[in-house]
Structure 1
Amino acid sequence: MSRLSFISLLSPHLYGFYTDLLAHLSSTLGQDFHLLPSAPWPDARRTVAAAEVDGAFQCGLILQEHPAFVPVAAPVPLGQTRAVYSTYIVVPRESSARQFGDLGGGRWVYNDPTSFSGYVALQAHAARLGLQPEFFGTPHWSGSHLASLDTVLSGEADVAGIDNTVFSAALRTRPDLRRHLRVLTPLGPYPIPPVTLRRTLPPARQQQIQAALADLHTQPVGRALLRQAGFSRFVPTTETAYLPLLAEAAQADQWRHTAPQLQRPDYV
């Protein structure tokens, strides 16, 4: 059988998990699954947009821009019963802010303007609260959730919206963060980023991969892989599950046209 190539558009901390996951699928299904090396974000986006890979780990909102791919499975975070995640509004522990509205005019840092959890969700929430575009002050573009955390930690920013699964992973490796940062409030929950497959893959192959992912937690090796990444299992999912993100994005549109422009990071 031919090799099936995958690429990740998600947090770098999950790269090892995806590598091991695809190796496990290769062993289970008898086909070579391969994760492409990490690439600069614009290059990875172009690869998926051009459907040059067979599968992608990608945000549910970005998926709407990649019609060549379809979601087949989504991970369930440990301690939860559904395949959902949240945006954590993270501030320094000594911050005087007690609610979202207290952060007006602060130094906000975003991982990327295409990110749902780190950018769009914040603007959609502000739109629902009826806040003015000036609320966000002059935003800064960090390049990743982990970089955003470090920016708040260093005092270069006052607040960031962080994918809660990334934040939990960071706490597992850097428990000292609890002494310096705190979660002001969560936003969500939202449908979690899925495993997606190229739509033109044979339906039987898509179903086989979906079934293998859904069965992963029933195997000792699979359970260990999932737990190390902060997940309990994969569940089947469909395109319908991600449609609510479009409504959130529509609410955020008003911010995109009037809010201050992000400063581009050096890596782009």
Structure 2
Amino acid sequence: MADQAIPLRLRLITYLTPGVPIEYFELLKEYLEEKLQCYVYLLSESRWSGPPADRVDPFATGDADIGFVCFPTFHRMFLDPNSTVILLGIAAGNADPRIQDQPMYFSDVITHKDNCTKFKEFKDLRGSRWAYNDDYSLSGCLITLRELRKIGENANFFGNIVRSGAHLKSIKMVLDKMVDGAAIDSNTLSYQMKCDPELRKKLHIVTSWGPLPVYPAVVSSKLPEELRNSLVSHFLKMHEDPKWQARLNEFLVTKFVPVTLEDLQGEGDKIREEVGEMTMTKEVNY
């Protein structure tokens, strides 16, 4: 602890579990502890994909120093002049062959394998039972609304809509045939299929939307610039150590790569603009 710029403790928070397994963030915690020679504590919030607008921001209160949130939440916080959250400047590069090593992912529309002939295209899901994870989720909600708008539809396109609360719950609802379809974070789906290969026999991917900007790492602006730069440097070098690279690969992450606001905002902002005021709430026509 000789370096005075290094705090005694660093608080890491994730809003991406359980879709992104908690073990992944425990790995990052261990890595930072080793490299920064300080204590790193991990917090996990599974109810939201980022700090809700109507709740106290843990970054503003000093309860969180570095975090992982979904893009829509980051976008809202970035536009808030009172927010103390800034982009750290790194994101995970994924092993998906469609975007090898890039900080991107897709939204995979899934149905049960038994329905693969019934639902050959997204438009075939008209009148179906649909599950989505979170109103602020880019891959589970906003991209679906954007695709509906493209074909001149809104949430009334579906016969019934259920907010599951998490991608894993949406997957289970499709497997149990409680719903007909859902849009799932491709990283979450790929990891689940890696852990349980039987899922490939039970699920059918109707289509994929994207690529989308991957969930960014954010940091409190209250942290010293020297420490923020150190965090970036260590993340970008993580894959260079065979020990840590192997552990990253377990979660289908190849390495961390630099990202800028422009990288994140392009497609993300475009989707938000196209969605406008649309929601997953079915509209009543009088």
Common fold: TM-score over 0.5: yes
Give 1:265's aligned residue.
Answer: none
Aligned residues: 261
- Matching of residue 228 in structure 1 with residue 250 in structure 2: yes
Instruction: Give the C-alpha shift of residue 129 in structure 1.
Output: 2.5
Unaligned runs of 5+ in 1: 262-268
1:73 and 2:90 matched: yes
CA distance in 2, matches of 1:43, 1:63: 8
Alignment of 1:88-99 (within 5 A): 88-95=108-115, 96-99=118-121
Q: Which runs of 4+ in 1 moved over 6 A?
A: none
More helix by share: 1
Map 1:17-166 → 2, pairs under 5 A: 17-38=24-45, 40-41=47-48, 45=52, 46=55, 48=57, 51=60, 52-67=63-78, 68-71=84-87, 72-78=89-95, 79=97, 80-95=100-115, 96-166=118-188
Conservation of the 8 A alpha-carbon contact between 2:132 and 2:163: yes
One-letter code of the match for 1:248?
A: I
Q: Percent identity?
A: 26
Task: Tell me, in whole angstroms, the C-alpha distance in 2 between the residues paired with 1:194 and 1:42.
Answer: 12
Measured against aligned partners, the alpha-carbon deviations of 1:47-90 in whole angstroms (never above 9, x if no partner) come to 64653311111111111122322232110111313110000000
SS of residue paired to 1:66: helix
Cα distance change, pair 44–66 in 1 and its aligned pair in 2 (3 A):
closer
Tell me the amino acid that sits aligned with residue 43 of structure 2: L
Q: Is the 8 A contact 1:5 1:35 kept in 2?
A: yes
TM value normalised by structure 2: 0.85
| One-letter amino acid matched to 1:36 | L
- Cα distance, 1:137 vs. partner? 2.8
TM-align CA RMSD? 2.1
Specify the alignment match of 1:253 in structure 2.
Answer: 276
Deviations, residues 88-122 of structure 1 (Å, cap 9, x unaligned)? 00011122111111111110001111111100111
Cα 1:49–1:138 change in 2 (3 A) is farther
CA–CA distance in 2 between the matches of 1:155 and 1:258?
22
Larger radius of gyration: 2
Choose the corresponding residue for 1:174, options 196, 207, 219. Answer: 196
Give, in whole Å, the separation in 1 of the partners of 2:273 and 2:58.
Answer: 21
2:12 aligned with 1:6, yes or no?
A: yes
Return the offset for 1:225. Answer: 1.9
Give deviations 1:175-201, integer Å, cap 9, x for gaps: 111111111100000111122111222
Normalising to structure 1: TM-score of the pair? 0.90
Contact conserved, 2:50 with 2:73, CA < 8 A, in 1?
A: no
